[in-house]
Amino acid sequence: MVKELAAGADDYLTKPFDPAGDQVLQKFGEMLRENARASDLSGRMGGDEFLLVMTHLDEKSTRLTVERLRAQFAALKFSFGGNVVSVMASFGIAGFQGKEPPEFCQLVKQADKAPYSGKRAGRNQVTAES
């Protein structure tokens, strides 16, 4: 089983060249690196979108991993201009099972699409796309 994950901060404090947004994005990137296994790939795709590629996990294990990242990120506190704030993120999961994997770019598109369902449901969600 291969799972791909696209994640992005929910459009809060993530404007380009904004020091507050940059701090949030840097911290999220650090979290991905700290929580990734040696076999995982992670990185920033652009803007507020990140990708984590995890292999050899079933959907339940993938969802647990992503939910742990979501909760860890939501628990962080950032200080900007004397204000302490929390930031939420919506996560999308896409994957496949079997011998014939779909094109990688198709899985990335599915994972990228999934967080929008979570955002419509109130943000700070983990959503799977099939």
Residue type at 3? Answer: K
**pLDDT, averaged across the chain:** 80
Which residues are 83's β-sheet partners?
A: 80
Max CA pair span of the chain:
53
**pLDDT, tens digit, 9 for 90 and up, residues 79-103:** 888 888 888 888 888 888 778 888 9
Q: Which residues contact 89 (CB under 8 A, 6 or more apart)?
A: 7, 8, 9, 10, 28, 70, 73, 74, 124
Residue 130 pLDDT? 66
Beta-bridge partner residues of 55: 2
Torsional sign, CA 108, 8, 54, 29: positive
pTM over 0.85: no
pLDDT, residue 68, reads: 93
In the block, tokens 């969600």 appear at 125
Domains, the chain, ordered by start: 2-129 (3.30.70.270)
Can you read off the two tokens belonging to residue 91? 């996560």
Q: What is the pLDDT of residues 54-67, one digit of tens each?
A: 888 888 898 899 99
Per the CB < 8 A criterion, the answer to whether 118 and 10 are in contact is no
Q: Which of 4-13, 85-94, 118-127 shows the lowest per-residue confidence on average (mean pLDDT)?
A: 4-13
Using the predicted structure, report yes or no on whether residue 40 has a pLDDT greater than 60.
Answer: yes
